[in-house]
Amino acid sequence: MDRREFLKYSGLLAAAGMSPELLLAAEGKMPEKIVVFVELKGGNDGFNTLVPYKDPNYIAARKNIRVTERVALPLGVQDMAMHPRLAGLHKIWGTGEMAWIQGIGYPGGVLSHFRSMDIIETGSHSEQVLENGWLSHIVPGYKQGLHGISVSNDGGSLGPLNSSRLNSVSMQSPRTFVSQSKIIKDITPVSSTPALAHLTNTQHQLFEVGNQLRAKMSRSLRQKKTTRSKGVLGHSLESVAQMIIAGIDSPVYKVTQSGFDTHSGQVGRHNNVLYQLDHGLSRFIHTMKQNGLWNKVVIVSYSEFGRRLGENKGGGTDHGTASAQFVMGGGIRGGIYGDAPDLTRLDSNGNVAHTTDYRQVYATLAHRVWRQPNNPWQGHRHIPFI
């Protein structure tokens, strides 16, 4: 076959309407609610985050690595406490704007990082392989235009925002995004191969979002940085705050803290990552309050799985099932939701059974934040944290 034949064959068609139309970017308004997802990568140890510090089963299973009563930050209900490095968030608990959801997981919990994260991020059940991030079923019905921004050091994973049905972008920071996207020209998306479709869609989004950021943020980005944030998560959250304040019309942001895969030497490592989490989020919340935006914001954590109840001989914990996650925000009804997992009933791997399905959180957010009662998880019971 020669080239001319090939040209006829492949016919590079501009696929109109293939991807959701980006509204003329600069006109987008600040969404009513802004949800910030915090991914805790590696499988966060729920038992040492939301701690059943008085439970004799917890005490017996964790001789060396437990959070003791002496240092735990008690919640004052259900004999639960927070990890001592979460002191900043403990204050948010005190103002009644933090909800803990305990025993969160799904039936047939998978212990592979990759598979379990795919399950959580696509909203599937354990035997089902879905392609699109779970937000692709919800956010397009809520608003047009930009759907989400993932901020991370390596500009990597979109996670729940990963879908060709979403206008979602990843970036290191708005500053680098604005300067580096200058050289990007717009392009009409094509669909001749999936690779080219993905490429041209991404380029089109890059162009549009770059324009919006330039229009709304060039002044604020010129100002001298007055940053006091530390660490990757701290910087990412600072970027998110800048964009929210500038009125970028993204209803969803995603940030990541990694380092939760604590197979050995857990105490030091977990202390460190929880400190990063507490520090980054506390500054972010402070900034939101200062700008009168705290009532708009909903912060939601997630992780691929929890960790085993029993500690291992290396002073760590292996992959587990149910964990604890939190939701925070000015409009959040604080409290502990879901039942505590039964620490006396462990499966053959030494893992507890989950009590709350993670998709209940999705159903709740879909209905109560984004007003999308028709969603793939509508059969799941809501959790009244909002």
Interacting residues toward another protein by CB under 8 A:
1-3, 6-7, 9-10, 12, 110-115, 154-156, 158, 169-172, 176-177, 180-181, 183-185, 187, 190, 192-196, 198-200, 202-203, 205-206, 209, 263, 312-314, 318, 348-349
In angstroms, what is the minimal distance from the CB of 72 to another protein? 26
How many separate helices (H) and strands (E) can be counted in the chain? 10, 12
Cα(229)–Cα(257) distance, integer angstroms: 14
Residue with Cβ nearer another protein (158 or 285) = 158
In angstroms, what is the minimal distance from the CB of 11 to another protein? 10
The count of other CB atoms within 10 Å of the CB of residue 4 is 8
DSSP 275-320: HHHHHHHHHHHHHHHHTT-GGGEEEEEEES--B-SS--TTSS--B-
Residue with Cβ nearer another protein (187 or 215) = 187
In angstroms, what is the minimal distance from the CB of 2 to another protein? 6
Kind and range of the H or E run holding 87: helix 87-94
In angstroms, what is the minimal distance from the CB of 371 to another protein? 28
Residue with Cβ nearer another protein (115 or 228) = 115
Residue with Cβ nearer another protein (52 or 133) = 133
**Helix-, strand-, coil-residue percentages of the chain, each rounded to 5:** 40, 15, 45
Residue with Cβ nearer another protein (7 or 71) = 7
The count of other CB atoms within 10 Å of the CB of residue 183 is 7
Of 288, 304, 292, the C-alpha closest to 241 is: 288
Residue with Cβ nearer another protein (113 or 382) = 113
In angstroms, what is the minimal distance from the CB of 122 to another protein? 15
In angstroms, what is the minimal distance from the CB of 88 to another protein? 28
